[in-house]
């Protein structure tokens, strides 16, 4: 038995009964190997009975040595934001197709996780972002993001106007549909579709990607981990700030948004044969040969 992990938390996709059978199968396997098993409260609410302790995510953060998240990348994003301050390593199990963050499959999770618990794993650290909205010198909103912080015009038809400063230095004024501030993890999400570069997940960097800028010379830029990014709204219609497309807040004219690297990181554990480039090939279909038209 591994000496690194004693208590292992199992966390499933919220309100998805399909995860219950594989979750309890995994729980029985771990208990059989003498690991302490914890079930998160929202997952346990779908169970008729549990022989294992049931805790909130915050309680799991304080007690667990490892968390296994069963669901998809969206579930992993949500759990990572909550558990990051507790420094709990995460393993992602995907129900369907492999994800960018959930790279174990339900069908092989016991075999693969068993090997990982025997020490056959690699550890990866992922960057998080924190954001604050300041209105008349008061912080009116805070958010944490694993993928990105996005300032966007929402459903409004007009562009938004804002200034961007980095570490207090004026960088540019921009008229656009919005601005994405992304981590390397988020570089393969919305930022990629907006024309941003792919940043290797091991990098400690932040990228800024304009969304449909009025001036085409406004291109994505990449800054270091110590950058404090300040976005100052000049003209606002129905602009919102989004965190991982999960939570949002209505912005007002002259609001200031401060985005920084979060002090803690997310620790992801992967199987020993995990390959970031193989994952990109598969998810982005780089090696597919176009079909010929006959």
pTM confidence score:
0.92
Q: Give, in order, the Cα–Cα distances in Å from 107 to each of 27, 81, 244, 291.
A: 15, 27, 28, 31
Contact 102, 73 (CB under 8 A): yes
In the chain, which stretches have pLDDT less than 70? Answer: 1-3, 235-236, 290-294
| H or E segment and range at residue 67 | strand 66-71
pLDDT, tens only, 155-175: 777 889 999 999 999 999 999
Q: Which of 40, 51, 65, 73 is flagged as catalytic? A: 73
Residue 129 has what pLDDT? Answer: 98
Residue 33 has what pLDDT? Answer: 96
Residue 165, φ and ψ in degrees, nearest 5: -125, 145
Residue 48 has what pLDDT? Answer: 81
Topology of the domain comprising 129-261: Tumour Suppressor Smad4 (2.60.200)
Topology of the domain comprising 7-127+265-284: Rossmann fold (3.40.50)
d(CA 194, CA 226): 24
Does the active-site annotation cover 40?
Answer: no
d(CA 141, CA 162): 18
29 in the Ramachandran plot: left (φ > 0), alpha (ψ -120 to 50) or beta?
Answer: alpha
Q: Domain limits of the chain? A: 7-127+265-284, 129-261
pLDDT, tens only, 24-44: 999 999 999 999 999 999 999
């Amino acid at each position: 038995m591994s000496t690194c992990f004693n208590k292992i938390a199992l966390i499933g996709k919220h309100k998805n009964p399909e995860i219950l059978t594989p979750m309890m199968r995994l729980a029985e396997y771990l208990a059989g190997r003498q690991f302490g098993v914890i079930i998160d409260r929202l997952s346990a609410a779908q169970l008729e009975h549990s022989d294992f302790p049931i805790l909130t995510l915050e309680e799991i953060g304080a007690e667990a040595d490892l968390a296994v998240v069963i669901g998809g990348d969206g579930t992993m994003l949500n759990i990572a934001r909550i558990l990051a301050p507790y420094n709990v390593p995460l393993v992602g199990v995907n129900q369907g197709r492999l994800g960018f963050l959930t790279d174990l499959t339900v069908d092989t999770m016991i075999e693969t996780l068993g090997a990982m618990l025997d020490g056959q794993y690699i550890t990866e650290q992922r960057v998080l972002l924190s954001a604050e909205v300041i209105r008349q010198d008061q912080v009116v909103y805070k958010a944490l993001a694993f993928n990105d912080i996005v300032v966007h015009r929402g459903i409004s038809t007009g562009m938004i106007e804002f200034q961007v400063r980095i570490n207090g230095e004026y960088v540019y004024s921009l008229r656009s549909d919005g601005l994405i501030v992304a981590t390397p993890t988020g570089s393969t999400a919305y930022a990629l579709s907006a024309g941003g570069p792919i940043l290797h997940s091991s990098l400690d960097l932040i990228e800024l990607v304009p969304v449909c800028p009025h001036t085409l010379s406004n291109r994505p830029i990449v800054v270091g981990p110590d950058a404090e990014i300040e976005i100052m709204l000049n003209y606002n219609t129905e602009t919102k700030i989004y965190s991982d497309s999960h939570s949002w807040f209505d912005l007002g004219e002259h609001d200031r948004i401060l985005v920084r690297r979060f002090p803690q990181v997310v620790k992801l554990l992967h199987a020993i044969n995990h390959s970031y480039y193989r994952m990109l090939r598969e998810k982005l279909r780089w090696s597919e040969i176009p079909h010929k038209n006959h």
